[in-house]
Amino acid sequence: MNSINHKLLFGLKKFAAAAVALSLLLTQTGCAGKQFSYAFDVNNPKNAFRFENHNSTAVAPAFASDLAVVDSDALTGEEIDSGADSYASAVLFSVNDAETVYSRNAFATLYPASMTKVMTAMVAMEEGDPDRILTFTDACVVTEEGAQKIDLNPGDTMTLDQALHILLLYSANDVANLIAVGLEGSLEGFCEKMNKKALELGATNTHFTNPNGLHDENHYTCAYDMYLMFNEAIKNEEFKQIISMMDYSTSYKDADGNPKDFKCETTNRYLKGQVNAPTNVTVVGGKTGTTLAAGACLVLLSRSASGKQYISCVMKGDNIDVTYGKTNALLELIDGY
């Protein structure tokens, strides 16, 4: 980023932060009669801040003093735009330095699939006591065929802590609903809190309609927003501890109080030893997401040999091998950065 852009970003920081906090739709008329519009647009590739001046348009990138900024694509090497072995978006950020290492289509509006559960967990950890008992009801039932579930039945109970482990490691969609309904009384009410939290973090290209990530046309995000949300989530040590686990065993109860044993492995191929990270890079953990519409997605926390943390995100990989392959290509950039 050149020095002019750097000064512009910090000069606009306080103004943009206030705009996010006030509303998604805020209009202000300047002294010269020019109108500046900060309107959310799902098709806007540069987040939600666009400054229009007659026939010319300038874009204000997303920014904050302790976050990496993307004002243009920072590409390395050959890229595949479409077709087999393609992906839609990929980013890599240095957490410690708040710098962008790599960015491709960072603001493209895409479906997050089960990466949604990063926000579900974040809101749940802020709202609920880990020992709180959650009860599965008819409102929690997932009817979509083929959806990842542990087949909870009405009356089954578990603690929020148990639910969070199963949510983040096994990516169970019925457990996501259990958390939402158990904490907020309804899926809709919980999603309101998810969307509110997203806005607080500046994730203005994001909208959630459910806590699990099952496909909905109005449920979307972008790679930069996933960075913002994941960057906030990893500040919670419990979240980091859970996503770093390889497996989890527990016992919850059915409606009659009888124990129901459950054991699962993480969906993360790095932690399962199915994919090897580049030398001198340690994968801490992350969240996968896969649907037909979303493709294969992965948001990941990694650590360099010097101890620096990095967040990567690849969205809409043509298949899971493409997504992990692109992720490895990103992680290779860490060495020497």
- Which CATH number goes with the domain that contains 257? 3.40.710.10
Task: Flag whether 143 is in a domain.
Answer: yes
Confidence class for position 336, pLDDT limits 50, 70, 90: low
**Residue 244: its pLDDT value, please?**
98
Looking at the fold, whether 209 and 137 belong to one and the same domain comes out as yes
**Residue 38: its pLDDT value, please?**
33
Task: Flag whether 53 is in a domain.
Answer: yes
Q: Annotated catalytic residue: which of 171, 302, 304, 312?
A: 171
Looking at the fold, whether 121 and 260 belong to one and the same domain comes out as yes
Query: Is 117 an active-site residue?
Result: yes
Looking at the fold, whether 161 and 252 belong to one and the same domain comes out as yes
Amino acid at 160: L
**Residue 69: its pLDDT value, please?**
77
Task: Flag whether 52 is in a domain.
Answer: yes
Mean pLDDT value across residues 277-281: 94
pTM (two decimals)? 0.80
Collapsed DSSP state (helix, strand, coil) of residue 290: strand
To the nearest 10 degrees (0 to 180), the angle between helices 187-200 and 3-22 is: 150
Q: Which of 55, 57, 67 is nearest to 20 (CA)?
A: 67
H or E stretch covering 231? helix 223-233
Confidence class for position 222, pLDDT limits 50, 70, 90: very high
Query: Which tokens belong to 44?
Result: 């806007």
- For the chain, what is the mean pLDDT? 83
Question: Percent of the chain beyond pLDDT 90?
Answer: 73
pLDDT at 235 over 70: yes
pLDDT at 12 over 60: no
Confidence class for position 65, pLDDT limits 50, 70, 90: low
Query: Is 302 an active-site residue?
Result: no
Query: Range with the lowest mean pLDDT among 77-81, 145-149, 160-164, 227-231?
Result: 77-81
H or E stretch covering 332? helix 320-332
Query: Is 89 an active-site residue?
Result: no
Query: Range with the lowest mean pLDDT among 37-41, 90-94, 155-159, 212-216?
Result: 37-41
Q: What are the phi and psi torsion angles at 59 (to 5°)? A: -115, 130
**Residue 215: its pLDDT value, please?**
96
**Residue 303: its pLDDT value, please?**
97
Q: Annotated catalytic residue: which of 89, 103, 114, 312?
A: 114
Looking at the fold, whether 42 and 176 belong to one and the same domain comes out as no
Mean pLDDT value across residues 45-66: 38
Mean pLDDT value across residues 122-136: 96
Looking at the fold, whether 164 and 28 belong to one and the same domain comes out as no
